[in-house]
Amino acid sequence: MKLLQSVIAFILCCLFSNDSFAEGGIKGSIKNLKGESLSFASIIIKGQNKGTMANEDGLYELSLPSGTYTVVFQYLSHKSLEKTVNVQNDYVTLNVSLEEQSISLNEVKFSAKTENPAYTIMRKAISMARFHILEVSNYNARTYVKGTGKVNSVSKLLKAVAGNKMEKELGLKIGQTYILESINDINFSQPNTVKEKIVSSRSNFPKQIQSSSGNIITFARTNFYVSNVGGVVSPLSPSALAYYKFSFEGMFEDRGVQVNKIKVTPKSWGPDVFSGTINIIEDSWAIHSLDLKFNDENGNYTLKQLYAPFKDVWMPVYMDSGFNFDAFGIVAEGRYVTNVRNYNVTINPKYHQQPVVIDEKIDKAEAKELKGQKVDKNLALKQQSMTRKQLKKVLKDLEKEDKAEKKAQNQNVDVVRDYSLDVDSLSTKRNNDFWNTERQVPLTEYEVIGYKQADSLNKVNEGQIKKDSLKNLPKFKLSHIFAGHTYNYGPRTPLYGYQKSLIYSSPLMPNSNVDGFYYNTVEGFYLESGLKYIKRNKLLSRMEIGTDLRYSFGREKLTGLLYGTYVHNYTQISVKGGQFVYQYNQNQPITSLVNTFYTLLFEQNYMKLYEKTFAQIDFRHQFSPKITGTIGLETAERHILENAANAKPIFDNKNREFSSNLPISSELANVSWSNHSIQFLNAGLTIRPFAKTSKFNGREFISNYRNPNFRIRSKWGFSKAGDFNNTEIEYEQVFNLNRLGDLRLMVTAGDFLKKPSYFLDYKHFNGNQVLFRREGLFNSFRNLDYYNYSTNGSYIEAHAQQDFRSLLLTKINLLRLYGLKESVFANYLYTGNKNFNYLEVGYGVSGIGKIFGLEIVSNFINGKYDATALRVKFSR
């Protein structure tokens, strides 16, 4: 019976493999007229939404059923070429040579000669940008994405520290080119929903890297119609004219449309602006293609896009981004190429129309005639003449209608982006036949060699890899005791990583402000270490359990605490308890490292400490993107601490001695206190009135960077010495001032409705009295005493910082591209009990050596100049 089934199967295979079912296609090479290969040129079957792209050597291959086709070949800055071909049961070789675009300067007509015609072209393109975003209701397509990269070299220092780990533990070799390619299905629908599925992916990464990276590479959705492209200002941004100079370089024709070539030059160079060319289609003012680049302190980057018409809408069919990285002792390069094919586009006729855009600055007479005319938004886009101002009004009305319709259908209009990513369970198991059919981009010689090498290595290591995966536990090494380590184990998903992690923080290799080996006058030398266990369930929930331990050699005492956090969707519950040493100001205005440095070398002990035995629970819930509430309970036994009798610096200063562990206060003559018990109730509310949300795989994330935040916080304390209440309100916002940069503001006002009995519970401000400044706290002062101006009365503090794109030093392009940034700042404090006014103003430079900055600040007390100080800030 089995033999008969085999014979039947063999006969069927023979029948279905005859010529009537054979499939052919086209293949060949694409070059320019000089005979040079055109890497990643685009190939499209006209009218059928099929296509592919050439490989790095300019070779292409596309399977097609029997029939006659018109094939369109296109490449950036070259004339598109159409060829008709008849495909039968075999591949037809079709080698083509593309001619560079001939640019004409004589075909352009413009009404004013006082400015470069590029400006009126770009003004019209900017006014139509939003329409081009909205003119496609939805589309789906299949993409081929390929990323390549290699580390060219590393510094001697880095090689000594990590070079061995790169090659032995990670399997990465310096100079080896690594490839990661993926076949993805993409589905987009307005206004912001993107669903992407990784159908198949493969790479020549070492197995160690593959297991940790998951072979994930996604479709490059770079959209130049929006204002900002990955932190860089788009040439089609409404504020583009403040950032760029435009120059008209001519016009060319492509597939029946006239295209304007525009040179883009930054008015001032920096990491947030492009340079290069953008080609704009006449009359529709859509993007035809672009070739742009930008630089930052870590290297230089290129971005290229090529568009093609689908249902009269120009959609991106080819995207190419590259980088050259040179920072932190690493020199590397990489490239990310995307080909989009099989477009299925649905047009929204409301936005897909072509008005005659009148530029008020150039066509003044026509604009004057149209001024005051009422525009019917239902007819506005049907070849009517409209000024840019009228067009903006029409767009606003149309989008207002759309929003009302969505609200009526109970759709969430506050979601700015809804992105879902799925990985096919067979994505890494597709065979070569699948790839040869779907990739349709021939592998280059070095890629073929790379995959063969990877297959050989994987086969050799297959047994060991399987053995390791069965153990499913990381290996412990003696070096981890001294260096710390993160142990990842359990099943790993490509999207969400490992489900479980165990993190050990070594006191001998500090990785935070806490863990490490430090010194203070209370405890002497002390060690602090931590252990944390994390369990994750995709984006739905996370659980953390951990402990921090602290051993004081001076007190010969071990203290520690246990903590746990559980997060599910938009609710978080945290518990913590134990016995531990804290600063009076729990924002820790001075770090353990800086305090150790000042205490041992300069005999200045600014850190003031007490010990607390406590238990607390905190509850946080996000009711909506606009409102989040918190509530917490704590019970504590607080113990006063004194300087150790044997505390002494390394270098004894005869004119200085350690200060008491009790702070000095201008409001309280005697800050001493006795050990006591106390209970706290904390409640807070954060209000973000203009907040939007983004979604990833159904989970919402708040998008509110530049919109205002309002916070209300209240703290009640209950003890035998008396109760107290502190309530405060806070406002924070970031303003984008375009070319000037960002302005960040924070204002906090508060008062004590009932006065506290202990200085511990006064309102403490984040002061600074040392050369080094902790950069993480925005609401911090540069030259304010840590505790002298703490208060139990009313207070107002305000902080403002303006980060400039170009000010003094940053007017030099080389310094700005290196990553240097300048800012000016002002911090103000008022306390009502003493009518105390404190103001400091300063100037800062950051990005020096990529890790630290310098600030100079002058402060004024009650309107009188007090002092000028220099501060050094670090990025970590």
User: What type of residue sits at position 126?
Assistant: I
Whether residue 383 is predicted with pLDDT greater than 70 in this model: the reply is no
Q: pLDDT grade, residue 864 (50/70/90)? A: very high
What whole-number distance in Å separates Cα of residue 130 and Cα of residue 140? 20
162 is a domain residue: yes
Strands 356-358 and 385-387, bridge-based pairing = parallel
What whole-number distance in Å separates Cα of residue 239 and Cα of residue 279? 19
Instruction: Name the token pair of 443.
Output: 């592998």
Q: Does residue 321 contact residue 222 with C-beta atoms inside 8 Å?
A: yes
In sequence order, which residues have a C-beta less than 8 Å from that of residue 321 and are 6 or more positions away?
220, 222, 301, 302, 303, 304, 335, 336, 337
- Do 65 and 160 belong to one domain? no
Whether residue 14 is predicted with pLDDT greater than 60 in this model: the reply is no
Going from the C-alpha of 706 to that of each of 111, 702, 709, 740, the distances in angstroms are: 40, 12, 9, 15
What whole-number distance in Å separates Cα of residue 267 and Cα of residue 246? 10
307 is a domain residue: yes
User: What type of residue sits at position 116?
Assistant: N
Query: Taking the CB of residue 339, how many other CB atoms lie within 10 A of it?
Result: 24
pLDDT tens across 54-94, in order?
Answer: 988 999 988 888 999 999 999 988 999 999 999 988 899 99
Which residue carries 């509110």 as its tokens? Answer: 704
Candidates 367, 123, 355, 359; CA nearest to 248 is: 123
Predicted local distance difference test score (pLDDT) of residue 4: 38
369 is a domain residue: no
Whether residue 8 is predicted with pLDDT greater than 60 in this model: the reply is no
Whether residue 459 is predicted with pLDDT greater than 60 in this model: the reply is no
- Do 288 and 146 belong to one domain? yes
- Do 151 and 82 belong to one domain? no
Name the percent of the chain lying above pLDDT 70: 89
Name the percent of the chain lying above pLDDT 90: 53
Predicted local distance difference test score (pLDDT) of residue 513: 55
531 is a domain residue: yes
In sequence order, which residues have a C-beta less than 8 Å from that of residue 397 and are 6 or more positions away?
377
Q: What is the radius of gyration, based on Cα positions, of the chain? A: 33
Cis peptide preceding 191, ω within 30 of 0? yes
- Do 589 and 650 belong to one domain? yes
Average pLDDT over residues 513-529: 88
Candidates 726, 717, 630; CA nearest to 680 is: 717
In sequence order, which residues have a C-beta less than 8 Å from that of residue 24 and are 6 or more positions away?
63, 64, 66, 87, 88, 89, 90, 91, 92
- Do 483 and 621 belong to one domain? yes
- Do 94 and 224 belong to one domain? no
- Do 652 and 505 belong to one domain? yes
Helix H, strand E, coil C: the string for 89-150 is: CCEEECCEEECECCCECCCCCCCCCCCCCHHHHHHHHHHHHHHHHHCEEEEEEEEEEEEEEE
394 is a domain residue: no
Q: Which of 627, 662, 697 is the last residue of a domain?
A: 662
pLDDT tens across 565-607, in order?
Answer: 999 989 999 999 999 999 999 999 999 999 999 999 999 999 9
- Do 87 and 144 belong to one domain? no
- Do 267 and 197 belong to one domain? yes
Instruction: Name the token pair of 65.
Output: 């059923």
72 is a domain residue: yes
- Do 64 and 168 belong to one domain? no
191 is a domain residue: yes
Predicted local distance difference test score (pLDDT) of residue 22: 47
Predicted local distance difference test score (pLDDT) of residue 471: 47
pLDDT tens across 18-52, in order?
Answer: 333 446 889 999 999 999 999 989 999 988 878 88
Candidates 852, 824, 803; CA nearest to 272 is: 803
Whether residue 460 is predicted with pLDDT greater than 90 in this model: the reply is no
What whole-number distance in Å separates Cα of residue 778 and Cα of residue 783? 14
pTM for the structure as a whole: 0.84
Range of the domain at 520: 472-662
CATH number of the domain residue 79 falls in:
2.60.40.10
Q: pLDDT grade, residue 465 (50/70/90)? A: very low
Which residue carries 């794109």 as its tokens? Answer: 805
What whole-number distance in Å separates Cα of residue 32 and Cα of residue 30? 7
Average pLDDT value for the chain: 86
Candidates 133, 106, 116; CA nearest to 264 is: 116
- Do 260 and 154 belong to one domain? yes
The domain total for the chain is 3
Average pLDDT over residues 723-735: 97
pLDDT tens across 731-756, in order?
Answer: 999 998 888 889 999 999 999 999 99
Predicted local distance difference test score (pLDDT) of residue 2: 41
- Do 273 and 415 belong to one domain? yes
Q: Does residue 749 contact residue 796 with C-beta atoms inside 8 Å?
A: yes
Q: pLDDT grade, residue 132 (50/70/90)? A: very high
288 is a domain residue: yes
